[in-house]
Amino acid sequence: MEQPKAPKNKKPNFKFNLYWIYSIIAFTMFGLFIFSPNTSVKDENWSKFEELARSNSFSKITVYSNKKMLEATLFDSSASKVFSKDELANGAKERQIKVSIPSADKFNDQVQIWKKETNFHADITYKEDNDFMNSFLWSFGPLILIAIVWFYFMRRMSGQGGAGGGVFNVGKAKAQIFDKASVNKTTFKDVAGLSEAKQEVEEIVEFLRNPSKFTELGGKIPKGALLIGPPGTGKTLLAKAVAGEADVPFFSLSGSDFVEMFVGVGASRVRDLFRQAKEKAPCIIFIDEIDAVGRARGKNPSMGGNDERENTLNQLLTEMDGFGTNSGIIVMAATNRVDILDKALLRAGRFDRQINVDLPDINDRKAIFGVHLRPIKIDESVNIEFLARQTPGFSGADIANVCNEAALIAARGGKSFVEKQDFTDAVDRIVGGLEKKTKITTEEERTAISIHESGHATLSWFLEHASPLIKVTIVPRGRALGAAWYLPEERQITTKEQMLDEMCATLGGRAAEELFLGRISTGAINDLERVSKQAYAMIAYYGMSDKLPNLCYYDSTGQEYAFTKPYSENTAQQIDKEVSDMISQQYNRAKEMLTKYKDGHASLTKILLEKEVIFKEDLEKLFGERAWKSRTEEILIQDEAKEKAKLTLESESESSPEETKTL
Ligand code: ATP
């Protein structure tokens, strides 16, 4: 491994700045104003000049022979012959007149006559006026002005990305560098859960801190690690923690930072990044959202001959495992589209390790809540276990959002602590959008919405595999006019029966409208979209159709079927038929079930119209206890029972502390 190089003597960094030009111009103007001779000048004709000359009114005369003009300075006593009273009051030291002359020789002849005829005795000087500056400005001024404007705009354009402004710096990498001295460090303590991923990256930090531990046994230090996972799961956070923990410089930039409108810039930025990194090795380079440059080559529909992104990727591939050695540099990258990355980028030797950062499970969610609740003043009613159970499918970013939203809701309510209800409201808001109590709905619409939502609620109560309901509301939220909350079970695999039950419950809204209202409405669009997509996925992707069994037309790389379908026209028709058959079967099933439970549905609609929100408990009162309980529900019930027992115990201990001991 390369040893870290001694820091080079840094050259003082004098950067050209446009404000310098502004200051120089301002100073020059100020200087001219202060130091320019304080002189009043007036243009006069020859007759007037001759008259003044004959009366000996001038102290000195300067003749500019090349310009065929002269400047004559008046005696103070003669100034009033030319300047008015007001003009004389301006306090100028000298007063001059400017006159055009036929030529210097003719003027000289005239002077001789005046000297003979009058007592004219002004000092006369003959000069060639040096007009270089004037002519230079006239010839080159516009060019200079254009150059300044062009330079200014190019700086603005190329400097937008932050560091390394200037048109000549476009090829420089714009990486942000963190090192030991950086403040606001993120550490592994700030990353909750993700234990496997954390272990892998901790090992990378260990490689850099203590390489001999691994190399002594003949092992090689990995060249790269790719963090893969859905959005908001903490990939960037994990990388930041590596930056905070590793005692080595950390270069961070985003995949899109390589891309610029100029051809060849991406590749040169990659080269520059690795050159900078080599100077500081051992170090880590982190490229966030690497899919911006790492997309598979050769599949570009633009068909351009010289694809800038491909050049950038080629350069990246070369730098990561090319002919030159880049020892001591570990490249970390993050993406949520690993399927579209170029295969060459993923091979061992470039990204040796692929670290999956998945959506957190219940224990991870508990830990993440633990991190984000730290700065929040919470009430005793808040139970992390409960919060983690209420948020299946939430990412770390969603959880951070829930905590923040709950604090904002509590602050809006003027509370001094954030309560359990605030968290529940925050979850509702994030799932369903903002409550819009002021949205105007007619009585007829409210009835339709109640019938629709009760349809969902009734079916999910009586279908074994449908997600258990938590609450239903007809208060508009976000863009929806009503909403139902379910507690989905956290499954790793889903069976056909489970999917069909969910489909049937989703169709319950439209089925109820048709059965009990006699007409259907646009309100079911979201349900229909979900159901259609799910049915298509079941048939074309999961091979769950009887007529087209075990066939999968899914392309996990996302590249094969960009323009064409992988099946024949005949199969396409079969797929369409199967999808519509599946949906209509479930729709009929929904209608049958709703007919069977129509009384319950009618009562539910009535309660919903009255109360606007109904909970699981109301359904239990109406339909009796649900016959099936999901695993998540069972655990939740056990937790609630435990909490109740704890509360009773605490209240007993408060009344008679001795009793607790005996318990
Ligand atoms: P994307 O792929 O969209 O860039 P990401 O996976 O990089 O997303 P991050 O930017 O790392 O997501 O996470 C966003 C925020 O979510 C973090 O700033 C943090 O507040 C929170 N977060 C995510 N995961 C965790 C975690 N495991 N522990 C604590 N906080 C987390």
**Domains in the chain: boundaries:** 18-130, 171-297+308-356, 363-432, 443-556+566-628, 631-663
The Cβ-side half-sphere exposure at 633, using a 13 Å CA radius, reads 16
Distance from Cα 343 to the centre of ligand 1, integer Å? 26
- pLDDT for position 657: 30
Per-residue pLDDT at 586 exceeds 90:
yes
User: What contacts 263, CB < 8 A, 6 or more positions away?
Assistant: 306, 308, 311
Question: What is the percentage of the chain residues whose pLDDT exceeds 90?
Answer: 15
- Segment 431-440 shows an average pLDDT of 68
Most confident of 142-146, 173-177, 244-248, 381-385: 142-146
Q: Choose between 369 and 260: higher pLDDT.
A: 369
pLDDT band at residue 633, thresholds of 50, 70 and 90?
Answer: low
Please identify, by atom number, the ligand 1 atom nearest to the C-alpha of residue 237. 11
Long-range contacts, stretch 99-104, CB < 8 angstroms, 24+ apart: 99/43, 99/44, 99/45, 99/46, 99/49, 99/69, 99/70, 99/72, 100/46, 100/68, 100/69, 101/46, 101/63, 101/68, 101/69, 101/70, 102/68, 103/65, 103/68, 104/63, 104/65, 104/68
Residue whose pair of structure tokens reads 């006026």 in the numeric block: 129
Comparing CA positions, the residue from 506, 500, 511 lying closest to residue 527 is 506
pLDDT band at residue 642, thresholds of 50, 70 and 90?
Answer: low
Distance from Cα 357 to the centre of ligand 1, integer Å? 10
Q: How far apart are the first and last CA of the chain?
A: 64
Q: Are 639 and 389 in contact (CB under 8 A)?
A: yes
Comparing CA positions, the residue from 72, 347, 331, 367 lying closest to residue 194 is 367
363-432 has the same fold as 18-130: no
Q: Which fold has domain 363-432?
A: Helicase, Ruva Protein; domain 3 (1.10.8)
Per-residue pLDDT at 363 exceeds 90:
no
Q: Are 54 and 78 in contact (CB under 8 A)?
A: no
Per-residue pLDDT at 510 exceeds 90:
yes
pLDDT band at residue 250, thresholds of 50, 70 and 90?
Answer: confident
- pLDDT for position 636: 63
Distance from Cα 232 to the centre of ligand 1, integer Å? 4
Per-residue pLDDT at 466 exceeds 60:
yes
Per-residue pLDDT at 261 exceeds 60:
no
Catalytic residue, chosen from 260, 319, 419, 453, is 453
Report which protein residue has its CA nearest ligand 1's atom 12.
232
- pLDDT for position 277: 84
- pLDDT for position 218: 78
pLDDT digit string (tens) for 303-335? 554 577 788 888 888 888 765 555 678 888 999
Distance from Cα 397 to the centre of ligand 1, integer Å? 5
Per-residue pLDDT at 102 exceeds 80:
yes
pLDDT digit string (tens) for 533-569? 999 999 999 999 888 888 888 877 666 666 678 888 9
Average pLDDT, rounded, for the chain = 79
Report which protein residue has its CA nearest ligand 1's atom 15.
397
Distance from Cα 395 to the centre of ligand 1, integer Å? 8
**CA–CA separation, 509 and 458 (whole Å):** 10
- pLDDT for position 634: 67
Q: Is 453 considered catalytic here?
A: yes
Per-residue pLDDT at 7 exceeds 50:
no
Least confident of 4-18, 72-86, 404-418, 429-443: 4-18
- Segment 290-298 shows an average pLDDT of 78
Structure tokens at 93: 């030291």
Please identify, by atom number, the ligand 1 atom nearest to the C-alpha of residue 191. 28
Ligand 1 interacting residues, C-beta cut-off 6 A: 191-194, 229, 231-237, 334, 336, 368, 371, 396-397, 400
Per-residue pLDDT at 496 exceeds 60:
yes
pLDDT digit string (tens) for 203-241? 888 887 787 887 788 777 778 888 998 888 888 888 888
From 237, 356, 403, give the residue whose CB has the most ligand 1 atoms within 8 Å, as the site to mutate: 237
Q: Which fold has domain 171-297+308-356?
A: Rossmann fold (3.40.50)
CATH class belonging to 18-130: alpha beta
Report which protein residue has its CA nearest ligand 1's atom 2.
231
Least confident of 241-255, 314-328, 349-363, 497-511: 314-328
- pLDDT for position 5: 41
Report which protein residue has its CA nearest ligand 1's atom 19.
397
Q: Choose between 179 and 468: higher pLDDT.
A: 468
Q: Choose between 563 and 36: higher pLDDT.
A: 563
Distance from Cα 291 to the centre of ligand 1, integer Å? 18
pLDDT digit string (tens) for 568-578? 899 999 999 99
Distance from Cα 428 to the centre of ligand 1, integer Å? 21
Any idea what DSSP says for residue 7? P
Q: Choose between 79 and 591: higher pLDDT.
A: 591
Least confident of 357-366, 390-399, 647-656: 647-656
Report which protein residue has its CA nearest ligand 1's atom 21.
397
Per-residue pLDDT at 400 exceeds 60:
yes
- 469-473 β-sheet, strand order: 483-486, 469-473, 613-615
pLDDT band at residue 514, thresholds of 50, 70 and 90?
Answer: very high
The Cβ-side half-sphere exposure at 628, using a 13 Å CA radius, reads 13
Distance from Cα 375 to the centre of ligand 1, integer Å? 17
pLDDT digit string (tens) for 21-32? 778 888 888 877
Correct CATH for 443-556+566-628 of 1.10.150.240, 3.90.1150.10, 2.40.10.10, 1.20.58.760: 1.20.58.760
Per-residue pLDDT at 182 exceeds 70:
no
pLDDT band at residue 479, thresholds of 50, 70 and 90?
Answer: low
